[in-house]
Amino acid sequence: MLKIKCLKDIDKVKKEGVLPPKLTEFLIHDLHSVYVWADYDHQYDFETYNTDMTDYGYIAILDGTEKKEELEKELGLTGGYENTIPEAVNLHRFGRDKWCRVLVIYNDSYAMILWIKNYDGFDSYAE
């Protein structure tokens, strides 16, 4: 599980080459969306923004094999993937892999964007 909380996190995965380049472009867009939603008073610059500054939520990169207990402990997904009802789901293909982008809203002030590799459990929610 990778946690993306700032541009430095995205730069790191870019340099390491652990994610498809096109996915890193989506991550920048997603992080900017979190920044706009969470920092509506424009207290921080996007370049220095970290999701810990506003505690709105962050982006998690998952491989789809996480155990329920790990999802509950690390992400607060009570009941794991099976008991999660997403707000929105988008499916993307990068090379041979399918990536599922899942938006989960926990309450009025906390949401997460999950990118899950080769997981089919949210396909029925896809837009």
| Each residue's pLDDT tens digit, 8-24 | 999 999 999 999 999 99
pTM: 0.93
Residue-averaged pLDDT of the chain: 93
With 80 as the cut, is the pLDDT of residue 112 above it?
yes
127 is a domain residue: no
Number of structural domains (the chain) is 1
CA count, 13 A, side-chain hemisphere, 69? 0
Residue 74 phi/psi, 5-degree rounding, is -80, -35
The span from the CA of 115 to the CA of 88, in Å, is 12
**Which of 22-31, 33-42, 67-76 ranks highest by mean pLDDT?**
22-31
Give the pLDDT confidence score for residue 97 in this predicted structure: 96
30 is a domain residue: yes
Q: Which domain holds residue 33?
A: 2-121
Give the pLDDT confidence score for residue 39 in this predicted structure: 80
17 is a domain residue: yes
